[in-house]
Structure 1
Amino acid sequence: MNSRRDILITSFALFSLFFGAGNLLLPPLLGYNAGNDWLWVILGFMITAVIIPIFGIIAHARLQGTMYDFGKKVSPSFSLVYCIIVYVISIAIPSPRTAAATHEIAIYPVFGTSKLLTSAVYFSLVLVFVLNRSKILNFIGKFLTPLIVIILLLVISIGLFSSEMITNTTQFDSPFVSGILEGYQTFDAIGAVVVGAVIIISLNFKTETSFEAKKDLIKKSGFIAGFGLFIIYAGLIAVGAFYGSEINVDSTLSNDMQRATLLRNISIASLGTMGNTVLSILISLACFTTAVGIIAGTADYFKGLLNDSKTVYIITSVIACVFGVVVGQLDFHAIIVIAIPVLLFIYPITIVLILLNVLPERFASPLAFRATVIITFIFSVPDVLNFISPSVSLNEIIQIIPLAENNLGWVLPTLITFVCVVLIETKKDNIMI
């Protein structure tokens, strides 16, 4: 039986490993641009930034293995390649992005230091935590996350009560779809398959408990962390929408500067002169815990891949941190631009793998895995190519595919494929009976 204390600590750790740079910076500007349609944006954002990631944690609770187990029903080779791609993406984009965000919003405005110094100090501290990974769960769950949550709730509650609650007209043609696509940018679905494994291994370090006890602990913690994410995201989007008439964000600025400017102005408007300090602490903590989770998860995977070697864990951690310092020299916006085509390719596949792994076994056969992943991949290609190099011929293809204009062309074909496979296999089972 899991104690309430264990569930709470694991919930806090999960929340903190999820909640990083993009999670804090994206929602306020999303709400600001959504204006009077902010509720629709929240609903869309929650699908890709909360519901699917928590399904990912539930899938981990069922599997209790590594990310490799998510895709092995497609084929061992596919799962190996998929895992390597996801972990390389994780240390190449979201991890350095946390350092870039920390520097641009929390460190540079206060100390005026170089990006290199910030990244070097930042990833040195990350490395210390990762190399002491058996203590990660307790330290993050007991100390860092409660502080992050308290500061976030302070900014949101004071911000909501101190604003005039007047919204502007929405800037989105389809607020619901815009919310879904912006949720991609949080990396939370990918984060789920990465940090879920970190939680499981941390629990194994901590104590020897039964499979069912760990399953119960992870599921309950996942639901609590998901509820926390929902409250924070909805609050940040609402604050961004309600400050739309009071704070003017220069539309000529890059998106990352718009996000940073809006969040800083909201913090100052709600917390006064303390706003900048509070924001700096919040950004630093939120980004730091996410980077720790990403690098620990990556090192865990390669350690398991190469005979459970502790040396491999250390080498992978060091390489990931050095890589973080190098890529961290780019600004936040540049990293997001690099991330978009990668996300349009890997995110749909990740979503499909998560959903299949939470379905009952009778619906998630190897054939269902293979067919849906192949179709998802095929119908994601036009989105990626169109982003990289738009063309008339590609545009004609996109117009034929339902939802493709919204970068969701894979959804309907994948759903139809899944239903067809289930019907075929059900009919086959009935004939055999």
Structure 2
Amino acid sequence: MEQVKDLNPKPLSVKQYLVVSSMLFGLFFGAGNLIFPIHLGQLAGAHWGMATLGFLVTAVLLPMLSVLAVAVTRSKGVYDIGRPLGPAFALVFMVMIHATIGPLFGTPRTATIPFSVGVQPLLPANMAHVGLLVFSVLFFGTAFLVSYKESNVMTSVGKVLNPVFLLMLFAVFVMGFAHPMGTVSKMAATTAYQHASFFNGFLQGYNTMDALAGLAFGVTVVTAVNQLGKTTPKSNAKVTARAGVLATSMIGLIYVGLILLGATTLGKYKVSADGGVAFNQLVTYYLGTLGHALLATLLTVTCLTTAIGLVAAFAQDFHKHFSRVSYRQWLAFMCAASFLTANFGLDTIIAWSTPMLMFLYPFAMVLILLSVFSPLFHRDGVVYAFVVAFASVPAFFDMIGAFPAVVSQSAFGKALTGFQQSVLPFANLGMDWVVPAVVGLVLGLGVHFLRPVFAARRSVVSEQVHNR
């Protein structure tokens, strides 16, 4: 039964808001949030401005809206966001989101990125596999121990690990901007960013996985805010929304700085294969061998905060819907599965995660936006159904086209890609889901608002027939 009053009727202090915001920041900001903006800066060069705007839409605005979606709908996790489409869809959507940001791709990446970028360069080449094995055992073992008690999550992430990370990152910014490697306005942009920098930056934002993570972290955030005594849905939602805006705004400022730093590295280095290499070059240029140690520490700390949030959110959501297995058992499964996937290596994880992101992000984006504006149409499932149904086909095409060559370059893959490019608007920009989703929205809203009119007319006609 819903509580009438909060356990803590007093307004939260500034310090308490900062702790919740710090926790949210730490949950969102992982290794991908460091390396992808830097790589974007290298790719965009002098065109960094429009690329940054596109990146901020999917890497900052959408995660902010995902937190607001949880607050507006008073949801407690991914399942509740998909609930207007029925329990079956909600459960499948929850499992797919958690599998993608969890043991299949997102959580293993939190271990492989700090190892590949920060630790592996310090090891002999023949020790790479053993090193990753040992590092991932220690990494996920720590994540398991910190998350073992649900009440530890806010304390460990919000009060301890995140401030350490921010101090390290601030040191990198001071060095980078005090003595830049080059002038950003003079840096060359890669071909893709010379003409479509906004849309390419938009798609790069998918890699952070933060819009998906924002939905999954909902249950963790709600639990943390409850611990502060804000136990009624209304007050809990209010605190969550305020803390979410503060945290994602801070992340946006850091992204702008990282993108600029990435662009300046072109003054000394060529465009790297990925952002991890670029970040490695950045700190090594300023700190030499000491830079490797700083990089390893920085990446490990920030990735650990994200891993803690991901494993806790996974265990909380799955225990809620599959309650025969306890929170701690789901937690152990999540950590063990992430450990196994991590040992396939970073390149393999990134190659196979991109297709799933291309498929899930359109669903996540439309569900987030529908949730935020759901009070306007009373969260009518009909509106949701039209939008999601129309967006699903282009999302499937995008997934097939993003698979490694064994799938995307097969006869089936080429046939689908050819059809997609010739029929769907904006397919060449990776935005082919937008027009179908808008069409679905118009139809869904039309049904929602006209349905009462037709019902009233039927009622009048039935009454007239009855009177005769």
Determine if the TM-score, normalized by the shorter chain, exceeds 0.5: yes
Inter-partner Cα distance in structure 2 for 1:194 and 1:327? 20
Partner SS state of residue 189, structure 2: coil
CA contact (8 A) 2:217 2:313 kept: yes
Inter-partner Cα distance in structure 2 for 1:74 and 1:243? 47
CA contact (8 A) 2:42 2:262 kept: yes
Instruction: Tell me the CA shift for residue 160 of structure 1.
Output: 2.2
1:186 aligns to what? 208
Q: Which residue identity does 1:315 align to in structure 2?
A: Q
2:153 aligns to what? 136
Q: Which residue identity does 2:76 align to in structure 1?
A: G
Inter-partner Cα distance in structure 1 for 2:152 and 2:248? 23
2:359 aligns to what? 345
1:55 aligns to what? 65
Consecutive unaligned residues of structure 1, counting only runs of 5 or more, are none
2:388 is aligned, of 365, 370, 373, to 373
Inter-partner Cα distance in structure 1 for 2:84 and 2:162? 35
2:236 aligns to what? 214
Q: State whether structure 2 residue 77 is matched by structure 1 residue 66.
A: yes
Inter-partner Cα distance in structure 2 for 1:127 and 1:87? 17
CA contact (8 A) 1:59 1:357 kept: yes
* Change in 2 beyond 3 A, CA 1:106/1:133: farther
Consecutive unaligned residues of structure 2, counting only runs of 5 or more, are 1-10, 125-129, 458-468
Of 298-307 and 12-21, deviating more is 298-307
Provide the aligned C-alpha RMSD in A: 1.9
Instruction: Tell me the CA shift for residue 371 of structure 1.
Output: 0.9
1:162 is aligned, of 161, 164, 179, to 179
2:399 is aligned, of 384, 395, 403, to 384
> 1:253-289: per-residue Cα shift (whole Å, max 9, x none)?
xx3xx42221012123344554222211110011111
Rg larger in structure: 2
Q: State whether structure 2 residue 273 is matched by structure 1 residue 228.
A: no
CA contact (8 A) 1:349 1:373 kept: yes
Partner SS state of residue 151, structure 2: helix
1:18 aligns to what? 28
> 1:395-422: per-residue Cα shift (whole Å, max 9, x none)?
1332221111222211111012212322
CA contact (8 A) 1:153 1:232 kept: no
Instruction: Tell me the CA shift for residue 191 of structure 1.
Output: 0.6
2:103 aligns to what? 91
1:423 aligns to what? 446
Within 5 Å, give how 1:234-383 maps onto structure 2: 234-249=256-271, 255=273, 258-271=274-287, 274-307=290-323, 312-363=326-377, 364-383=379-398
Partner SS state of residue 247, structure 1: coil
Of 144-153 and 5-14, deviating more is 144-153
CA contact (8 A) 1:165 1:243 kept: no
Q: Which residue identity does 1:8 align to in structure 2?
A: L
* Change in 2 beyond 3 A, CA 1:381/1:306: closer
Of 205-214 and 95-104, deviating more is 205-214
CA contact (8 A) 1:299 1:317 kept: yes
2:141 aligns to what? 124
Of 105-114 and 400-409, deviating more is 105-114
Of 420-429 and 350-359, deviating more is 420-429
Inter-partner Cα distance in structure 1 for 2:315 and 2:267? 46
* Change in 2 beyond 3 A, CA 1:154/1:419: farther
Instruction: Tell me the CA shift for residue 57 of structure 1.
Output: 0.5
1:105 is aligned, of 114, 117, 130, to 117
CA contact (8 A) 2:38 2:275 kept: yes
Instruction: Tell me the CA shift for residue 123 of structure 1.
Output: 0.7
Inter-partner Cα distance in structure 1 for 2:344 and 2:427? 31
> 1:327-379: per-residue Cα shift (whole Å, max 9, x none)?
11122121010101111111111111111111042334211111111111122
Q: State whether structure 2 residue 90 is matched by structure 1 residue 79.
A: yes
Partner SS state of residue 133, structure 1: coil
> 1:92-121: per-residue Cα shift (whole Å, max 9, x none)?
111001111121122223355521111111
Partner SS state of residue 188, structure 2: coil
The alignment of Structure 1 onto Structure 2 pairs a total of residues equal to: 425
* Change in 2 beyond 3 A, CA 1:367/1:393: closer
Q: Which residue identity does 1:312 align to in structure 2?
A: S
Q: TM-score, normalised by structure 1?
A: 0.93
CA contact (8 A) 2:20 2:224 kept: no
Q: TM-score, normalised by structure 2?
A: 0.86
CA contact (8 A) 1:158 1:271 kept: no
1:401 is aligned, of 424, 427, 433, to 424
Inter-partner Cα distance in structure 2 for 1:170 and 1:203? 44
Q: Which residue identity does 2:53 align to in structure 1?
A: L
CA contact (8 A) 2:146 2:156 kept: no
Partner SS state of residue 243, structure 1: helix
Inter-partner Cα distance in structure 2 for 1:226 and 1:162? 28
2:460 aligns to what? none
Inter-partner Cα distance in structure 2 for 1:264 and 1:397? 38
Inter-partner Cα distance in structure 2 for 1:337 and 1:100? 14
Instruction: Tell me the CA shift for residue 208 of structure 1.
Output: 5.3
Inter-partner Cα distance in structure 2 for 1:278 and 1:11? 25
Inter-partner Cα distance in structure 1 for 2:430 and 2:210? 18
Of all paired residues, the percent bearing the same amino acid is: 26
Inter-partner Cα distance in structure 2 for 1:118 and 1:382? 37
Partner SS state of residue 82, structure 1: helix
Inter-partner Cα distance in structure 1 for 2:251 and 2:64? 10
